[in-house]
Chain A
């Protein structure tokens, strides 16, 4: 799957929480949002949603701007 634009070794079936841990984030980190294949994945699903094989995962957070 692709995580933040880079091919990842994360196997299909992993949860978003596991992806976040690899990025050094806890599942309760404030100010984080996740999109899977162009759709928002609500925080409540991070521990349970199993990522499909070719998922495009975007993990976003606050950045200075505007």
Chain B
């Protein structure tokens, strides 16, 4: 049950998060804007990627995120094989001192859709290595269940391709995933605007991850605020229990006492 205005906490692998909005740090035009958007979003868990050191880079992303007081969720973005993803995860653990990993194994250049067999292989290996694996997966309920079976404490199905802003293309499948696993479901990828995030939560997702929708909005800080409210609204609506859809109208005003003119 909800307490007052506040959301119930999200629990992933024993870690409680007050915010059900996860934020990607990719795509922000500056670290300053990213920092402001993080604050506006209320997010406590933000993703970072691992790339070659650029000696010319200005400002430390780690310092900014550390200052924002958020927990890091390193990802394996850009990995095409289980082998590369596993190595990247191990390097991320070394770099950021966390065994949490958002596992991405990409199988197609145009759609950036996950490579299911490689993803499952990498997930199993990383779980065995002691990682807390949050897999970015397709909206396939069977694959989601397989990922949970190998030990993933949450699944992150896509709404539509990364950065596409197409929202949730198959709400039915997202609903099926919600029914088929008991771990948290985090809607990842495809969110374009606030209503997409609200829909994800109304479908029963436990959280929403947004990156481009915020970082590439015309006003990222304002969109971060919109997403924060949308996720809360969607969660409240889901737990409130919506009315069933009906084919015909049902009057909300009673007929009793209707005058006879």
Chain A positions within 8 Å of B, measured between CB atoms, are 4-5, 23-25, 30-35, 38-40, 42-43, 58-66
Contact = CB atoms under 8 A, between A and B. Distances in A.
Interface in B158-200: none
Nearest to A30: B62
A66 B26 contact: yes
Contacts, number: 95
A34 B50 CA distance: 11
A61 B92 CA distance: 8
Interface of B is mostly: mixed
Contacts of A43: 94
Contact of B96 (A31, A35, A38, A65): A31
B87 A31 contact: no
A32 B53 contact: yes
A40 B211 contact: no
A61 B53 contact: yes
A31 B95 contact: yes
B48 A64 contact: yes
Given A33-B95, A38-B87, A43-B94, A59 B53 contact: yes
B61 A62 contact: yes
A64 B27 contact: yes
Interface in B26-80: 26-28, 34, 47-53, 55, 60-63, 65-66, 72-75, 77
B50 A33 contact: yes
Nearest to A66: B47
Given A64-B28, A64-B61, A33 B91 contact: yes
Contacts of B60: 30-31
Nearest to B88: A60
A42 B26 contact: no
Interface string B204-216: 0000000100000
B90 interface: yes
B211 to A, nearest CB: 6
User: Could you say which of A30, A33, A62 has the most chain B C-beta atoms within 10 Å of its C-beta?
Assistant: A62
B76 to A, nearest CB: 9
Q: Which 7 A-B pairs have the closest CB atoms?
A: A65-B49, A66-B47, A33-B95, A31-B62, A63-B51, A66-B75, A33-B91
